């Protein structure tokens, strides 16, 4: 069970004791179809460490506004994502799961952190460069300010470890800079978080373009394997996945497509890249893809069955999220009182 967060801020000495459970926080956007990259790069790692840490997971609906979602669709995506997370193994008795906007402290802290964040650091973020490309001055301010909200999400709960995929490394570096600056200016207030990025599965690429990361908000369905895909659709997508020239099943810098498929196979079957290469020595691309498709289907089917069951039980999903939000709010509010105090805002007390 997750206990009260606030003790953490002043309780760093605990870190060396045997009972200390690391505070883990991560977020995911309700921005489209939960896919294999989300699972292998992030959510599977959330589940794997749930017993030995105090975990908080957040469906970041405010971040998803970046894509201008239709309000009705956004609500559906929140239910879908919550169901996918629970079905993937996030046991609500062992972690907090809630929706970001249900805890208004996230947006409040985001505004306050603007005071210790520079325009130049935001403009230099790779994600800002990618998502603003070609838009000129019309680019939404959410794209620029996005990493400050992410920093607020993380540091509000005295987070020590942030399990994410490789694409979030830079945002966590910025979060660390924000913590350093805030603590230096206002006194020790926030815990310094660290990224937790695994070597396996941290960057799953698109099936139709191995130079681009698999992404929820991609308009190209063939680019990702969604947890909503049927076994036949999964088999078809893998059969049509692009490959590299040559005929051996080997990874390498000159073989981005095969490297990606080998990564997926290895991550799901628990094999290293050399083991996968050995397993497919002398085999053809077609044989590899057939076996890969079966490994993916077998791994996803039990999660998908549970996902369908949960999705139909909106009152249950809503109850889990409400309970998560209530408990997160208590921790967040205690932290916010300290932050407001440190910054000297609010009426005199």
x/- map, 138-167, ligand ATP, by CB under 6 A: --------------------------xx-x
Binding ligand LTN (rule: CB under 6 A), the pick from 153, 160, 229, 277 is 153
Residues 41-80 that bind ligand ATP (CB under 6 A): 41-42
Q: Which residues are catalytic?
A: 131, 213, 216
**Residue 27 touching ligand LTN (CB under 6 A):** yes
Residue 150 contact partner, candidates ligand LTN, ligand ATP, none, CB within 5 to 8 A by sort of partner = ligand LTN
Q: With CB under 6 A as the rule, give the number of residues binding ligand ATP.
A: 20
3-state helix, strand, coil in the chain (%, to 5): 60, 10, 35
**Residue 38 touching ligand ATP (CB under 6 A):** yes
Q: Which residues does residue 98 pair with via DSSP β-bridges, in sequence order?
A: 58
Which region, judged by CB under 6 A, interacts with ligand LTN, from 9-17, 21-29, 218-226, 329-337? 21-29
Q: Are 241 and 214 in contact (CB under 8 A)?
A: no
**Spatial distance between the Cα atoms of 119 and 240, rounded to a whole number of angstroms:** 43
The set of residues, in sequence order, having a beta carbon less than 8 Å from that of 274 and lying 6+ positions away, is none
Structure tokens that stand for 178 in this block: 């924000």
CB of 283 to ligand ATP, least distance (A): 26
Gyration radius of the chain's alpha carbons: 21
CB of 64 to ligand ATP, least distance (A): 7
**Spatial distance between the Cα atoms of 54 and 319, rounded to a whole number of angstroms:** 20
Structure tokens that stand for 24 in this block: 């883990």
Residue 41 contact partner, candidates ligand LTN, ligand ATP, none, CB within 5 to 8 A by sort of partner = ligand ATP
**Residue 53 touching ligand LTN (CB under 6 A):** no
C-beta closer to ligand ATP: residue 78 or 214: 214
CA 144 to chain centre: 19
Residues listed for the chain: 349
Structure tokens that stand for 26 in this block: 């991560």
Q: Which residues does residue 195 pair with via DSSP β-bridges, in sequence order?
A: 162
CB of 317 to ligand LTN, least distance (A): 20
Binding ligand LTN (rule: CB under 6 A), the pick from 2, 26, 46, 335 is 26
**Residue 32 touching ligand LTN (CB under 6 A):** no
Is residue 39 exposed (0-12), middle (13-18) or buried (19+ Cβ within 10 Å)? buried
User: Which of 224, 237, 304 is CA-nearest to residue 33?
Assistant: 224
Chain position whose Cβ is nearest to ligand ATP: 41
Which region, judged by CB under 6 A, interacts with ligand ATP, from 35-43, 110-118, 286-294, 295-303? 35-43
Residue 217 contact partner, candidates ligand LTN, ligand ATP, none, CB within 5 to 8 A by sort of partner = ligand ATP
Which region, judged by CB under 6 A, interacts with ligand LTN, from 15-23, 46-54, 115-123, 149-157? 149-157
**Spatial distance between the Cα atoms of 291 and 273, rounded to a whole number of angstroms:** 15
What backbone torsions phi and psi does residue 313 show, to the nearest 5 degrees?
-115, 70
Which region, judged by CB under 6 A, interacts with ligand LTN, from 81-89, 161-169, 212-220, 265-273? 161-169
**Residue 318 touching ligand ATP (CB under 6 A):** no
Q: How far is CA 239 from CA 205, 208, 233, 277, in A?
A: 16, 11, 10, 19
**Spatial distance between the Cα atoms of 205 and 165, rounded to a whole number of angstroms:** 12
Residues of this chain that bind ligand LTN (CB under 6 A): 25-27, 29, 60, 63, 150, 153-154, 162, 164, 168, 171
């Amino acid at each position: 069970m997750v206990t009260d967060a606030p003790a953490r801020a002043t309780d760093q000495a605990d870190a060396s004791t045997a009972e200390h459970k690391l505070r883990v926080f991560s977020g995911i956007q309700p921005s489209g179809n939960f896919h294999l990259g989300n699972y292998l790069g992030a959510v599977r790692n959330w589940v794997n460490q749930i017993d030995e840490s105090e975990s908080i997971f957040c469906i970041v609906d405010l971040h998803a506004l970046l894509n201008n979602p239709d309000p009705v669709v956004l609500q559906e995506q929140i239910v879908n994502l919550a169901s996918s997370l629970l079905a993937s193994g996030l046991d609500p008795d062992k972690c907090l799961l809630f929706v970001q906007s249900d805890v208004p402290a996230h947006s409040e802290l985001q505004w306050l952190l603007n005071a210790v964040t520079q325009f130049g650091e935001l403009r230099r973020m790779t994600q800002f460069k990618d998502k603003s490309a070609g838009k000129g001055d019309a680019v939404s301010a959410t794209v620029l300010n996005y990493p400050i909200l992410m920093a607020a999400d993380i540091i509000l709960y005295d987070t020590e470890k942030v399990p994410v995929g490789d694409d979030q490394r830079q945002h966590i570096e910025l979060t660390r800079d924000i913590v350093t600056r805030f603590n230096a200016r206002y006194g020790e207030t926030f815990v310094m978080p660290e990224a937790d990025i695994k070597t396996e599965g941290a960057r799953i690429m698109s099936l139709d373009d191995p130079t681009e990361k698999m992404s929820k908000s991609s308009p190209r369905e063939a680019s990702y394997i969604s947890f909503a895909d049927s076994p036949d659709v999964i088999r078809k997508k893998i059969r049509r996945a692009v490959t590299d020239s040559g005929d051996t099943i080997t990874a390498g810098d000159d073989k981005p497509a095969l490297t990606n498929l080998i990564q997926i196979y290895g991550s799901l079957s628990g094999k290293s890249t050399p083991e996968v290469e050995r397993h497919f020595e002398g085999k053809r691309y077609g044989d590899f893809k057939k076996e890969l498709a079966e490994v993916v289907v077998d791994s996803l089917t039990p999660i998908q069955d549970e996902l369908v069951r949960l999705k139909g039980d909106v009152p249950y999903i809503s109850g889990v999220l409400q309970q998560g939000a209530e408990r997160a709010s208590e921790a967040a509010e205690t932290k916010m009182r300290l932050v407001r105090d440190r910054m000297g805002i609010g009426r005199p007390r």
